Amino acid sequence: MKRSKILGVGHFVPDHVVTNHDLSQLMETSHEWVVERTGIEERRHIVPGGGDTTATMGYKASLMALKNAGIRAENIDFIIFATLSPDYYFPGSGVQLQEMLSPDHTIGALDIRNQCSGFVYALSVADQFIRTGMYRRILVVGSEVHSAGLDMTTRGRNVSVIFGDGAGAVVVGVAEENGDASTDGNGILSTHLHSEGRHARELAVISPSTQHWISHILNENNPDDESYYPYMNGNFVFKHAITRFSEVIKEALEANGIQAGDLKLMIPHQANLRISQYIQQKIGLRDDQVYNNIMRYGNTTAASIPIALSEAVAEGRLQRGDLLMLAAFGSGFTWASALIRW
C-alpha cells in the first residue's frame, strides 16, 4: 500500500491584531489575567466587510501551500476543508474553495466538522485516500473566523479572549514509492481518532440549529439568550484536554514503537499554553521539541495546527527524516493524533 506525505504547507492570518488591552476596552478582563491563564498575548481578527472570510482565508493559505509544493491547483485531485465557522450554514466552505482555485476543475470537496481536531481528522481522511490509490494529491485546509460569532461583553469573556481567526493548508501527496516505506520511508506513519459525544454540550454553539432555529431566537427576542454564542465549561474542558492529549500522543508513539525522546517536534493544537506545557511535562519533552504560537494567534481551532506547522517549516524546525507529532483535542469531545516522518 502507498504511503502519503505532506508536500507543501501554507498559512494566512488577517492583518488586524487584537491585543488583550484592546479586549479590556470591551469587557472586564486584563492582559495579566489572559496571559496567566492562557499564554495568549494577541490574536488576529478579520475586519468585517474587509473581504476576508473562512473560505477566502482558506484560499490564501492554499495558494501558499500549493506554491511550496510546486503544484498547480489544476493538479489537485480532492479538497478537504475543516472548519466550525463556514461562510454559510450550508453548503460548506469546500465548494467555495473549489471555485476560487479553479472553477472548471470539478474535483470533490469534503467538509469536516470536528472543531479543534478538524485538521488531524482531515489529514487522516486524506491519508486513507492516498494509501488506497484513489487520489494522488489532496489539499487539506483548516480555516476559522471566530471573531464574527463571539460575545464581546463581560458575559462571554472566558471564551472570547481565547479564540482568533486564521487559516492553514497542506498539500498531501504520494510518498516515495521506491524502497521499503514501512521501515525508513517518510510520510504519515499513523493517525488515531477518538470522540466522546456525552460531553458535546460542554463546548458548543447550540443555535442556529434544527433544534433551535432562527425564528425561535427572533420570536423569543430574549436578551439573555446565549445559545448562538459559544458556551465553554472551561475547567471541565481543561481537565479532559490534558488527559486525552496525553493518551492520544502515547497511542501514536506506542503504535510506531517510538519514544518521546525520538520526536523532533510536537505541534499540539493551540488551545491554551498551559495545556501545551502540561502535556509537554507529562510526555517528557524538552522545550525545543514543542512548537507553540498561541501567544500571537490565540486558539484558531481547525487552523491552529497547519498555521503552526507552516511557521515551524519556515523557521527550519523540520528536516527530512525528522519525526513530527500532531495532536489535538476539542469540542465534541474529539481528539486525534498523527505521527509523521518528515
Q: Which residues bind ligand COA (CB under 6 A)?
A: 29, 33-34, 37-38, 116, 157-158, 161, 232, 234-235, 237-238, 241, 271-272, 275, 299, 329-330
Distances (CA, A) of 12 to 15, 58, 247: 9, 8, 31
Q: What is the DSSP letter of 299?
A: B
Nearest-10 crossing angle of helices 31-38, 273-283: 30
Q: Cβ of residue 200: shortest distance to ligand COA, in angstroms? A: 13
For 298, left (φ over 0), alpha (ψ -120 to 50), or beta?
A: left
Active-site residue, selected from the candidate residues 116, 158, 192, 240: 116
In the complex with ligand COA, the residue whose CB is nearer, 171 or 325, is 325
In the complex with ligand COA, the residue whose CB is nearer, 29 or 337, is 29
Quote the cell numbers at residue 287.
Answer: 522545550
Closest residue to bound ligand COA by CB: 234
Quote the cell numbers at residue 128.
Answer: 486513507
Active site residue 235: no
In the complex with ligand COA, the residue whose CB is nearer, 158 or 337, is 158
In the complex with ligand COA, the residue whose CB is nearer, 156 or 187, is 156
User: Burial code of 230-248, b = ≥16 C-beta within 10 A, e = fewer?
Assistant: bbbeeeebbebbbebbbbb
In the complex with ligand COA, the residue whose CB is nearer, 29 or 98, is 29
Q: Cβ of residue 13: shortest distance to ligand COA, in angstroms? A: 18
Active-site residue, selected from the candidate residues 68, 158, 272, 299: 299
Quote the cell numbers at residue 309.
Answer: 506547522
Q: What is the DSSP letter of 12?
A: E
Active-site residue, selected from the candidate residues 68, 146, 269, 272: 269
Q: Is 106 exposed, middle or buried (0-12, 13-18, 19+ CB in 10 A)?
A: exposed
- Rg of the chain over CA atoms, in angstroms? 19
CA distance 340 to 342: 6
Amino acid letter for position 217 = I
Q: Cβ of residue 259: shortest distance to ligand COA, in angstroms? A: 27
Amino acid letter for position 262 = D
Active site residue 116: yes
Q: What is the DSSP letter of 198?
A: G
CA distance 76 to 299: 29
Q: Cβ of residue 204: shortest distance to ligand COA, in angstroms? A: 12
Q: Cβ of residue 155: shortest distance to ligand COA, in angstroms? A: 10
Q: Cβ of residue 96: shortest distance to ligand COA, in angstroms? A: 25
* Cα pseudo-dihedral 216, 217, 218, 224, rounded to 10: 140
Active site residue 293: no
In the complex with ligand COA, the residue whose CB is nearer, 109 or 205, is 205
Supply the residues annotated as catalytic: 116, 269, 299
